[in-house]
Structure formats: C-alpha cells, structure tokens
C-alpha cells in the first residue's frame, strides 16, 4: 500500500524552499497526525540537531513513521558535494551523509541524496563527476545496508544538477555502475520539467523506484497546479509501488492548507 508523508524543515538557511512544515518539530508532527499522514520526512541541519530519544517519543506518541531524511543541508549550510573538485569537500560530504544515514537508520528511514550530488564543471568533467558519484553511491549504499534501509538517489531538474535529470539516466547510473541498495527518488516537480511523460518516467524507473516527492507542476501542493495525477497514480499502481508519496511542496498559501490539500489529493488517488 502506498503511504503518505509530509516534509518538515528545521533548516533556517533553506527558508522559502519546498517544505510544507517549518521549524516546530513537535507541532508539525502533531498536525501531520491530525491530518492523517502516515509519516514525516525530515530536513535537518545535521545529524545531531534533534535529540533521538525525543524524536522517538514523539513518533511513538503520535504513531507516525519517518519516511526519509534529507541530506541537502550538507550543501546548503556546509557547501559540500560528492562531486566537488576539492577532495576534502567530497570526503566531508560522504561523512555528512554517513551520519545522516545513521540518524535515519535508527528510525528505519533512508537518507536522500539530492543536491549533495553536485554537478560537473570545467574543473570536474562529466565522466569524472559521474565516477565520483558512482563510487560514493557504492560506498554509501552498502553503508545504508547496515541499517537495513536503502539509500535514495534523486535526479534533479537541469537548474539544480547536470548529472542525472531523468529517471532513465538515474537507472543507467545505477545499472552501469552496478550500484546496490540504492533506489531512485521520483520528484514529480523535477520530472515535470525533464521527462517526456511523467508516467513513462516512473515506469522507466521500474523496480529501482524507492521514493516519490508528491507535488504539483508549480511545486505547490498536489492539486494546486496543472499536473495530471491520474496517469501518475496509474503508473505507480502498475509498478506495484508500495513506498511513500511525500509532500515536498511550498507552504503555499500556508503549511496547513498545503498539507490538507496534499492529503485530500492523496486519498482521491490512492485510497
């Protein structure tokens, strides 16, 4: 069964970004529960930012799960990247991600590599960057396996990376590199920019699909843009997808309205 999740960001440097709830962890989790979400996806400044016992107690009390944890703060705050020219920055990026894998793993949640993939540049040509990325996915995928969770890799749109921007290129990266225990994240916003057809993109991801960012064409909550969700839901059903569709969307016009709109559209499509 497909499960619902909603994002919570505690990263002040990412203000204005596509996260539904902000700042107040306990209050946001309470609202997620009241609205009927199964889980929360957490975007944190780092692995030590939230006390693990406190988070465990909130999850138990509210009967919520953690769908995934983001690692983008490594880029936003520390300017780290798995494909940086300077090798210490690449090493620190891996270390940051390992620590986020450990954090998420404690809650049965995978870590997501999105913006931490970086991009190829004049200094780091495409084959070199793809080599760094593949090597990192090998190591970090195996590392995630210690917690019995996958690692999640997210193709982004062309304005955020020039490495993999479609599901097909993500599949190619994983298969050519023989990378194990790494799944793909299908972010419908990025796909709306890059894919010929979002449904075909999902089907191309196939068994590699591990997570979905559920959002409309304009990055507002599902139902507040011009995305055709029926073919998307049909493709997910055809795949037998049983992971999360997680609302990574702007808090527009406000967090509760975006969350309520998301869960309403989720129920229409998947329940």
CB of 115 to ligand LER, least distance (A): 4
Length of the chain measured in residues: 271
Among 38, 154, 194, 195, binds ligand LER (CB under 6 A): 154
**Residue listed under structure tokens 């843009």:** 225
| Residue from the set 37, 80, 187, 266 that interacts with ligand LER by CB under 6 A | 187
Omega before residue 129 within 30° of 0, cis: no
Q: Does 41 interact with Mn ion (rule: CB under 5 A)? A: no
Residues in 180-209 that interact with Mn ion by CB under 5 A: 187
Choose one: 5-13, 54-62, 80-88, 244-252; the region binding Mn ion (CB under 5 A).
Answer: 244-252
Q: Reduced to 3 states, what is the DSSP secondary structure of residue 50?
A: coil
Widest pairwise Cα distance in the chain = 51
* Helix (H) or strand (E) run with residue 177 in it: none
Range in contact with ligand LER (rule: CB under 6 A) among 52-60, 120-128, 141-149, 153-161: 153-161
| From the list Mn ion, ligand LER, none, partner contacted by residue 160 (C-beta under 5 to 8 A by kind) | ligand LER
**Closest CB to ligand LER among 187 and 194?**
187
190: its two tokens: 């990025």
Burial class (CB in 10 A: 0-12, 13-18, 19+), 98: middle
b/e per residue, 161-180, with b = 16+ CB within 10 A?
bebbbbbbebbebbeebebe
Residues in the interface with ligand LER (CB under 6 A) total 9
Taking CB under 5 A as the binding criterion, the range among 71-79, 129-137, 170-178, 243-251 that sits at the site for Mn ion is 243-251
d(CA 150, CA 144) in angstroms, rounded, equals: 6
Q: Which does 47 bind (CB under 5 to 8 A by kind): Mn ion, ligand LER, none?
A: none
8 A C-beta contact, residue 246 and residue 212: yes
Question: According to the binding rule CB under 6 A, does residue 72 interact with ligand LER?
Answer: yes
List 94, 120, 183, 213, residue binding Mn ion (CB under 5 A): 213
For residue 43, list its beta bridge partners.
9
Between 130 and 212, name the residue whose CB sits nearer to Mn ion: 212
* Interacting positions 10-69 with ligand LER (CB under 6 A): none
Strands 65-70 and 39-43: parallel
Residues that bind ligand LER (CB under 6 A): 72, 114-115, 154, 156, 160, 187, 213, 248
Residues that bind Mn ion (CB under 5 A): 187, 213, 248
């Amino acid at each position: 069964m497909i499960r619902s999740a909603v994002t919570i960001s505690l990263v002040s440097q990412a203000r204005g970004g596509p996260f539904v709830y902000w700042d107040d962890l306990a209050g946001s989790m309470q609202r997620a529960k009241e609205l009927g979400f199964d889980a929360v996806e957490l975007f944190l400044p780092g692995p030590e930012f939230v006390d693990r016992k406190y988070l465990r107690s909130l999850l138990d009390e509210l009967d919520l799960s953690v769908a995934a944890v983001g690692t983008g703060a490594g880029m936003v705050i520390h300017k780290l990247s798995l494909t940086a020219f300077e090798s210490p920055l690449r090493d620190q990026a891996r270390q940051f991600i390992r620590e986020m894998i450990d954090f998420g793993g404690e809650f049965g949640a995978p870590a997501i590599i999105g913006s931490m993939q970086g991009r190829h540049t004049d200094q780091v040509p495409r084959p070199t960057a793809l080599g760094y990325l593949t090597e990192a996915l090998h190591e970090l995928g195996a590392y995630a396996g210690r917690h019995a969770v996958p690692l999640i890799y997210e193709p982004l749109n062309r304005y955020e990376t020039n490495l993999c921007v479609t599901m097909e290129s993500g599949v190619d990266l994983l298969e050519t590199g023989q990378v194990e225990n790494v799944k793909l994240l299908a972010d419908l916003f990025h796909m709306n920019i890059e894919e010929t057809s979002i449904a075909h993109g999902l089907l191309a991801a196939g068994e590699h699909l591990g997570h979905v960012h559920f959002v409309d064409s304009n990055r507002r909550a599902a139902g507040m843009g011009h995305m055709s969700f029926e073919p998307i839901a049909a493709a997910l059903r055809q795949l037998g997808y049983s992971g999360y569709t997680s609302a990574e969307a702007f808090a527009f016009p406000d967090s509760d309205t975006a969350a309520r709109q998301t869960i309403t559209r989720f129920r229409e499509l998947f329940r």
